[in-house]
Chain A
Amino acid sequence: ETGVTQSPTHLIKTRGQQVTLRCSSQSGHNTVSWYQQALGQGPQFIFQYYREEENGRGNFPPRFSGLQFPNYSSELNVNALELDDSALYLCASSLMTSPDTQYFGPGTRLTVL
């Protein structure tokens, strides 16, 4: 148990739809990162939020967006879903000053048909 939860566990959407994934971080963690893990690959960094502002972004288009809330929860939003968006989406919470203590959630498996 890492104290990081994600919802939903599984989700099926169709191309063109929009999806919101949720993450609840460990209490006190001011940084949340989101990763996309396609089947058979390692996680890829999407973006990071620190104190409710985006603080770094990987090679993902603007239709991937996020929010971080004061209660340590966060959201990943994906618009105009594409088939290649099918993946496991992971969030990780940490303190900005302690990159060695990232705690990963169990992930949300998104399938786009």
Chain B
Amino acid sequence: AQSVSQHNHHVILSEAASLELGCNYSYGGTVNLFWYVQYPGQHLQLLLKYFSGDPLVKGIKGFEAEFIKSKFSFNLRKPSVQWSDTAEYFCAVNRGNAGNMLTFGGGTRLMVKP
């Protein structure tokens, strides 16, 4: 069965620190990859996505992610976090032949201290 692993469950950073959140998936076929963010009290929002092409993708709010096929990874990065980045971050995978079904990781709760 396809699974998505996020190894960091809780991350605490100070403002201006750099961020990297890990995401690994187990499916070997064609995949589409996503990072979603859930700010406190708000709905899930798409941060960025990878379907094909350049493995380094840029999203909203200064976030980027790199797809490394050989490592089955899609790590999220941001060079300098802000207090407003405090949220829960979810990596998700969609198999190319699975309609719109998303398999989510367990999430990483990020707290940024001012």
Q: Which of the candidate stretches B12-20, B65-73, B77-85, B99-107 sits at the interface with the other chain?
A: B99-107
How distant is the Cα of A92 from the Cα of B94 in the complex, in angstroms? 14
Q: Please determine whether B42 and A96 come into contact, CB atoms closer than 8 angstroms.
A: no
Q: Please determine whether B43 and A107 come into contact, CB atoms closer than 8 angstroms.
A: yes
How distant is the Cα of A31 from the Cα of B101 in the complex, in angstroms? 10
B51, B103, B106: the one contacting A45 at CB < 8 Å is B103
When distances are taken between beta carbons in the complex, the residues of chain A under 8 Å from B92 are 42
B44, B45, B99: the one contacting A55 at CB < 8 Å is B99
Q: A84 an interface residue at 8 Å Cβ cutoff?
A: no
**In the complex, residue of chain A having the shortest beta-carbon distance to the beta carbon of B49:** A100
Q: B32 an interface residue at 8 Å Cβ cutoff?
A: yes
Q: A8 an interface residue at 8 Å Cβ cutoff?
A: no
A43 to chain B, nearest CB (A): 5
A89 to chain B, nearest CB (A): 12
How distant is the Cα of A55 from the Cα of B101 in the complex, in angstroms? 10
Q: B90 an interface residue at 8 Å Cβ cutoff?
A: yes
How distant is the Cα of A2 from the Cα of B45 in the complex, in angstroms? 9
When distances are taken between beta carbons in the complex, the residues of chain B under 8 Å from A41 are 106-107
How distant is the Cα of A44 from the Cα of B107 in the complex, in angstroms? 12
What is the interface of chain A, defined by CB distance below 8 A to chain B?
A: 2, 4, 31, 33, 35, 40-45, 48, 50, 55-56, 58, 90, 92, 94, 96, 99-100, 102, 104-107
What is the interface of chain B, defined by CB distance below 8 A to chain A?
A: 4, 6, 32, 34, 36, 42-46, 49, 51, 90, 92, 94, 98-107
Q: A41-B106, A104-B45, A106-B43 are in contact. List 5 more A-B contacts (CB 8 A).
A: A2-B43, A42-B107, A48-B101, A99-B32, A100-B49
